[in-house]
Amino acid sequence: MSVVLKDFIEAEGLEPGDRLPPERDLALKLGLPRTALRRMLSSLEKEGRLIRHVGRGTFIAGSGVSSSALRRPASSDVDTLRTYPAEVFEARLIIEPKIAALAALRATRQEVEEMQKSIARGNASESLSEFEKWDAVFHRIIVQAARNGLLASLYEGIHAVRAGNLWGKMKEQSLTSERMTAYIVSHQAILDAIKDRDSREAERNMYDHIIEARTNILGPSI
């Protein structure tokens, strides 16, 4: 599990002397229990990759790190934190089910056909990258079908984060052939509700799909 924290450090470009976010914030952003995060911090400290100081925080270790460097003021947490998987899933659960509900009311026949094609191609994918491509196509067509420019803009912000290095590694580690098959089943359930013009069912199925993905990537909610 320490790989999650290592990936975070790499993705953020943290260098020797830089301070990690406070433990509480870091656990929330990564979607990890505090106990699991503490084990990771302890493991990396033993490896010599971190230096932990009571009252001052946890810092990235390195040959150029000195006690004076550790006392320098760190940038504010607001500046150093971007957004992380746990936040992404929170945003997705707020936005995407409602987008699916709108799509059920507004999707054209052509859009429904394109969604079905994306599901078929995702199901026939022979590689992780190909599966992710058609997964993204499916969700983007739903956004298009909702006919709401502001929601589409918000979704693109979420998609940009999901395309990032940290997210990509976590998703790659979580995906198995069984889970990809389960995602295809979930996509079909969402599409079936859209075909039936059942906005409530489309919203419910999208919500369940995102919960499923969150559990696979971050583990059971805490």
The domain segmentation of the chain, as residue ranges, is 3-65, 85-218
Do 3-65 and 85-218 agree at the fold level?
no
Amino acid at 51: I
Amino acid 162: pLDDT: 66
| Chosen CATH of 85-218 out of 3.40.50.12780, 3.40.50.720, 1.20.120.530, 3.30.70.120 | 1.20.120.530
Q: Give buried/exposed letters for 70-93 (b at 16+ CB in 10 A, else e).
A: beeebeeeeeeeebbbbbbbebbe
Q: Assess whether pLDDT exceeds 60 at residue 169.
A: yes
Is residue 179 over pLDDT 70? Answer: yes
198 alpha-carbon distance from chain centroid: 27
Alpha helix ranges (H) inside the chain: 2-12, 23-30, 34-46, 67-70, 77-80, 85-106, 109-123, 128-146, 149-162, 165-174, 177-195, 199-218
Confidence band for 62, pLDDT divided at 50, 70 and 90: low
The yes-or-no verdict on residue 30 having pLDDT over 90 is no
Phi, psi for residue 81 in degrees, rounded to 5: -85, 130
**Contact at 8 Å (CB) between 105 and 197?**
yes
With H, G, I as helix, E, B as strand and everything else as coil, classify residue 196.
coil
In this predicted structure, the answer to whether residue 39 has a pLDDT above a threshold of 90 is no
Q: Helix 177-195 to helix 85-106 angle, to the nearest 10 degrees?
A: 30
pLDDT tens across 132-152, in order? 889 989 999 999 999 999 999
Domain range 3-65, CATH class: mainly alpha
* CA separation for the pair 121, 135 (Å, rounded): 9
Residue type, 167: W
Q: What mean pLDDT value characterizes the chain?
A: 82
Average pLDDT over residues 2-27: 78
Phi then psi dihedrals of residue 60, to 5 deg: -75, 125
Can you tell me the mean pLDDT for 89-107? Answer: 96
Beta-bridge partners for 53: 57
What's the confidence (pLDDT) of residue 165? 58
For residue 85, which of 162, 187, 148 has the smallest C-alpha distance? 162
Q: Does residue 176 register a pLDDT over 80?
A: yes
Residue 83: what pLDDT? Answer: 64
Q: Is the pTM of this model over 0.75?
A: no
- Contact status, residue 97 vs residue 203, Cβ threshold 8 Å: yes
Token representation of residue 142: 């739903």
